[in-house]
């Protein structure tokens, strides 16, 4: 499974990348929304995991792109607060989170989207 993770906090980005890589996911990292949009236009992903609040519009432009260009692509938003209610996301993971919670949220989001079967 190929995962795009997006976060402007490099420490959180690295923790998520290491956690998902260790669990067998193929991870592509992005440090901001603009780069994430470039990645989405040039590669195929099974899921996008993005921070809610970042420079260049946060998760809103990413969600809008996904809902327009690839509406079946699952979107997991990581947030330290309540995300915008208008944001179309498949799942939300609240910070701070444990590594196992990240893995469970990714698995659950993929499962809900029909990307994997339950264990």
- pLDDT at position 55 is 76
Reading the block at residue 45, the tokens are 């992903």
CA neighbours closer than 13 Å in the CB half-sphere of residue 47 = 27
The mean per-residue pLDDT over the stretch 25-31 comes to 97
Q: State yes or no: pLDDT of 115 exceeds 90.
A: no
The mean per-residue pLDDT over the stretch 90-103 comes to 94
- pLDDT at position 118 is 47
Q: State yes or no: pLDDT of 111 exceeds 90.
A: yes
**Which residue segments constitute the domains of the chain, with CATH numbers given?**
2-112 (3.40.50.2300)
Contact 76, 49 (CB under 8 A): yes
- pLDDT at position 53 is 83
Which stretches of 7-85 are assigned E, i.e. beta strand?
26-30, 47-51, 75-79
The mean per-residue pLDDT over the stretch 91-111 comes to 95
pLDDT tens-digit map of 65-90: 999 999 999 999 998 876 555 567 88
- Please tell me the pTM assigned to this model: 0.91
Q: How confident is the model at residue 13 (pLDDT cuts 50, 70, 90)?
A: very high
């Amino acid at each position: 499974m190929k995962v795009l993770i997006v976060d402007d906090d490099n420490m959180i980005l690295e923790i998520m990348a290491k956690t998902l890589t260790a669990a067998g996911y193929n991870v592509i990292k992005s440090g901001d929304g603009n780069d994430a949009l470039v990645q989405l236009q040039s590669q195929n992903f099974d899921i996008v995991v993005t921070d809610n609040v970042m420079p260049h519009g946060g998760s809103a432009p990413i969600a809008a792109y996904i809902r327009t260009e690839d509406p079946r692509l699952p979107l997991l938003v990581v947030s330290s607060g309540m995300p915008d209610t208008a944001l179309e996301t498949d799942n939300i993971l609240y910070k701070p989170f444990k590594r196992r919670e990240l893995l469970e949220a990714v698995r659950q989001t993929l499962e809900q989207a029909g990307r994997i079967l339950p264990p």
